[in-house]
Structure 1
Amino acid sequence: MFNKTPHCTDITILTLDRWMVLYIFNISMSFYFFLKLAEKDGVGVKHTRDAGWCGSDCFPLKKGELKTGPGNSDSSALGNAPDAQRVSNGTPASWDPQVLNCSEDASVRTQDWFRRLDQRFHQFVLHRHCRYFPMLINHPEKCADGEVHLLMVVKSVIEQHDRREAVRSTWGREHTVDGRKIKTLFLLGSPTTGKDTKNLQKLIEYEDRLYGDILQWDFMDTFFNLTLKEVNFLKWFDIYCSGVRFIFKGDDDVFVNTHNLLELIGFKLEERKEPQLFVGDTISKAIPIRNRQSKYYIPKELYDKPYPPYVGGGGFLMSSQLARRLFVVSEDLELYPIDDVFLGMCLQKLHLVPEMHPGFRTFGITRRRVSPMNSEPCFYKHLIVVHKLSAQELLRMWSVVHNEDLVCAQRTSM
């Protein structure tokens, strides 16, 4: 189907592999040097977790709540205005949650449905009113000049620094295209209990010193807490970055064709569809998974109806106007343990349905991992988002796709 010039040879791939190994080795040695330096002089600790902090057996996130005070974003201050007209004018000018007690909702324990609920979900339900958390690393200056066209927001965890390096070297590189400024941020929580928490925190602080592109909150980076990344980012965005035009939100293991993404934004601006823009790989008519072995298992006691339409969290695009509305409605919704579905619930409350776009392949080009189509560069050249690649695969595919010698046939539907 496609014709390729022979630049993508085994020799080229071997060279890239060697480069990647050397690159990761150098980064690792830099981190090691920093750790030794930090142990010597105590440098680099912006926030250290108390040794007596509640671990995963208690609740998989740091306890905290929103500080009350003048100008605080309180749902009562929004009155009874329709969701579509509500705005977050009460949002404070800085991040305000403090390290305060956010104890469990003991009243839930008395309810029959809770007694029947799978124990894996007990702590989530007892503490899902704990919504906003202290920031360990913040960059309020990221959008300070008010001229950011596209903000790339990437969900990651501390240990995946190789993925972040690959993203920074490829689609997450901060630059300007035809006057359109692109900025990048990585969203992180804290290391889970049982890991080398202190040293991992030093590593991430050193990484942020190098790049200045990390937002970190003081809740544990667990699967159920991915929704906390959504709501804490929406609040952060509303405070510090609401002037940006568009937001791409994705995982750190996707390939993003930045050129095609900017083209899509241009088309939407021409069509004047910016205010309600939310586009990705839409999943409709889905129902909760009842298989207890599945990562996405949801018991009937927690949710027992079909999901609203939502997009695969591997990558999606939204306008800042819609992001502000999502922030407002999200504050009145109970947190849900699957972050993609939670955003679908927010959209449903706004009476909106996410737009399906064939360029977003959050399940890969084909669902069969071994399919040769998943490694065909000409598909990547014509798509916008492809999930799921390792750091090494991302670097290799980016190099191949952006090689001027790559020749592809005309676009072909898949």
Structure 2
Amino acid sequence: MDHCFRRKRLGLLKPLLSVSLVFASFLMIHKLKLAEKDGVGVKQTRGADWCGPECFSFKQGAGKSAPVSSVSPVRNDLDAHRASNGTPTSWDAQVLNCSEDASIRTKDWFRRLDARFHQFVLHRHCRYFPMLINHPEKCAGGDAHLLIVVKSVIEQHDRRDAVRKTWGKEQTIDGKRIKTLFLLGRATTGKDTKNLQKLIEFEDQIYGDILQWDFMDTFFNLTLKEVNFLKWFHIYCSNVQFVFKGDDDIFVNTNNLLELISFEVEGGRVDNLFVGDTINKATPIRNRQSKYYIPKELHDKPYPPYVGGGGFLMSSQMTRKLFVASQERELYPIDDVFMGMCLQSLHLRPQTHPGFRTFGITRRKVSPMNREPCFYKNLIVVHKLSPEELLRMWSVVHDKDLVCAHRTVM
């Protein structure tokens, strides 16, 4: 009898979950409609069905390029120049047809490799993917001083919403134009991918700030977001001067970030500018339970200096250099380490700045210092906050009545 009851209960669970998902979808659509504003969103039709490291099932398909409502003369001149140099003038990864490299299966080291890395290694040569949502017009006009680029996933609408209302707000500060983009892949296997895709397309129609590629949004594929964005920037963003790249769960003091940029410009340190919370002398983690576990077969030497991927700043010149370097490096499953490897290829090191706290103000999450607004007022990047914490801290930090102590020089 108990067995029959369990079967009946499990039979009811699936339709209940479906109803819950539909209800959650309606709530999200309602929330998005309340926030609806004028903007241009470009929807794309999903072509290839690519599963990512957890489920590699490659099929051939086409990714359509997003139309541009208008093209400036500057853009036409730039396209002509790039065409003469063999550089694509639009996203050229239109068809996905990338099968595994079967020759790797014969290698001794592959047979010893932890099985969870097999699909990553077998498809590591698959680098650029069709775009599902594109906004080539985002950098047009040459008026963007700073492009804020945020890594996110489809389900984290509340995080994107909080970022748009705070440090990721598109605005002009002291004559410096700030624009924002969110980087996404496809929803992971096992989720209601069709409904989630429709939701993200609807969200993009409202805000017009999403770039989405046809690869699955998994931890190992964060590096794909790096290399695909670098190529996208190389094609479309010739006139943007600086790029801030971060996660969707950080606090950024935008004014302090702009002050840092001005300081670097005045000091003539722009060409190789790559600054953040630098990690030196790190080695691969061998603990199999760790999210960042790397087996010896994959990497068996210390990491080069790299910055925490929670948030870092780079100049457009450095972004283009990293694009070239990234094409010559094998993909690595930890994205911030991969960027350090690209810097190493350029014989460069990241610049450390104490205002970037990608591990929080203190590493003890229970420390009251991590919630002290005066620290946030004087820092640039702090990791890690929930959407509610971000909105609350942003409000407190920008309260004109907030009084913080100042150091005095005796």
TM-score bracket for this pair, using the shorter chain length:
0.7 to 0.9
In the alignment, structure 1 residue 213 sits paired with structure 2 residue 213: no
Q: Which residue of 2 aligns with 1:242?
A: 238
Instruction: Map 1:362-401 onto structure 2 (within 5 A).
Output: 362-401=358-397
1:275 maps to amino acid: D
Q: CA deviation at 1:100?
A: 3.1
Instruction: Work out the number of aligned pairs and report it.
Output: 359
Partner of 1:184: 180
Determine if the alignment matches structure 1 residue 59 to structure 2 residue 56. yes
Q: Please name the residue that 1:273 is paired with.
A: 269
1:325 to 318, 321, 333: 321
Q: Is 1:62–1:133's contact at 8 Å kept on the other side of the alignment?
A: no
Contact residue 60 and residue 219 of structure 1 kept, 8 A: no
Give the conservation status (yes or no) of the 8 Å contact 1:135–1:216.
Answer: yes
**How many Å apart are 1:64 and its aligned residue?**
7.8
Among candidates 138, 142, 159, match of residue 142 of structure 1: 138
Write the mapping of 1:95-110 to structure 2, written as runs, cut at 5 A: 95-110=91-106
CA displacement at 1:249 relative to structure 2 = 0.3
Q: What letter is aligned with 1:397?
A: M
Match of 1:127 in 2: 123
Within 5 A, what are the aligned runs for 1:215-364? 215-364=211-360
In structure 2, how many angstroms separate the alpha carbons of the residues matched to 1:60 and 1:355? 40
1:4-53 per-position Cα deviation (integer Å, ceiling 9, x unaligned): xxxxxxxxxxxxxxxxxxxxx99963516999xxxxxxxx9632467x76
SS in 1 for 2:226: helix
SS in 2 for 1:326: helix
One-letter code of the match for 2:202?
Answer: Y
Letter of the 1:59 counterpart: F
1:64 and 1:130 in contact (8 A); partners too: no
Residue 272 of structure 1 aligns to a residue whose secondary structure is coil
CA distance in 1, matches of 2:26, 2:400: 32
Task: Note if contact 1:63-1:103 (Cα within 8 Å) is conserved in structure 2.
Answer: no
SS in 2 for 1:154: strand
Q: Deviations for 1:143-191, whole angstroms, at most 9, x for unmatched residues?
A: 1001210000000000000000000000000001111100000000000
Contact 1:61 1:220 in 2 (8 A): no
Cα 1:342–1:57 change in 2 (3 A) is: closer
TM-score with structure 1 length normalisation? Answer: 0.82
Structure 1 ranges of 4+ moved more than 4 A = 25-28, 32-35, 52-57, 60-66
Q: Deviations over 1:362-411 (max 9, x none)?
A: 00000000000000000000000000000000000000000000000015
Amino acid at match of 2:324: V
Distance 1:370 1:401 in 2: 20
AA at the equivalent of 1:233: F
Q: Supply the distance in 2 between the matched residues of 1:166 and 1:54 (Cα, whole angstroms).
A: 29
Shift of 1:89: 4.3
SS in structure 2 opposite 1:237? helix
**Cα gap change, 1:130 to 1:53, in 2 (>3 Å):** closer
Confirm or deny: 8 A CA contact 1:268 1:274 kept in the other structure: yes
* Matched residue SS, 1:374: helix
| Matched letter for residue 158 of structure 1 | I
Q: CA separation in 2, counterparts of 1:389 and 1:108?
A: 41
Is contact 1:48-1:198 (8 Å) kept? no
Are residues 147 and 379 of structure 1, via their aligned partners in 2, closer, same or farther at CA, if it must alter by over 3 Å? same
- Taking a change above 3 Å as real, the CA distance of residues 347 and 89 of structure 1, as seen in their structure-2 partners, is farther
Deviation for aligned residue 1:65: 11
**1:287 and 1:306 in contact (8 A); partners too:** yes
Q: 1:45 to 1:93 in 2, by over 3 A?
A: closer
- SS of residue paired to 2:145: strand
Q: What SS does the corresponding residue of 1:141 show, helix, strand or coil?
A: helix
CA contact (8 A) 2:272 2:317 kept: yes
Alignment partner, residue 169 of structure 1: 165
Read off the aligned partner of 1:188 and give its amino acid letter: L
CA displacement 1:292-324 (0-9 Å, x = unmatched): 000000000000000000000000000000100
Q: Aligned residue for 1:151?
A: 147
Indicate the residue corresponding to 1:112 in structure 2: 108
Whole-angstrom distance in 1 between the partners of 2:279 and 2:242: 22
Q: 1:62 to 1:193 in 2, by over 3 A?
A: farther
Change (3 A) 1:215 1:374: same
Query: Structure 2: how far apart are the matches of 1:350 and 1:268?
Result: 20
Structure 2 counterpart of 1:31: 29
CA spacing shift, 1:363–1:411, aligned 2, 3 Å: farther
1:14 is aligned to: none
Q: Contact (CA 8 Å) 1:285, 1:308: kept in 2 or not? A: yes
Letter in 1 for 2:56: F
The CA distance in 1 between the partners of 2:26 and 2:393, in whole Å, is 23
CA gap of 1:178–1:298, structure 2 versus 1, over 3 A, is same
Whole-Å separation in 1 of the counterparts to 2:339 and 2:379: 24
CA-based RMSD? 2.5
Secondary structure at the aligned position of 2:221 is classed as helix
The runs of 5 or more residues in structure 2 that have no matched partner are 1-22, 34-41, 64-83
Would the aligned equivalents of 2:91 and 2:235 in 1 still touch at CA under 8 Å?
yes
**Which digits, 9 at most, give the CA deviation of each residue in 1:210-242, with x for residues without a partner?**
000000000000000000000000000000012
Query: What code does the residue aligned with 2:272 have?
Result: Q
- Measure how far apart 1:91 and its partner are: 2.2
Q: Which amino acid aligns with 2:209?
A: D
Secondary structure at the counterpart of residue 187 of structure 1:
strand
Letter in 2 for 1:220: M
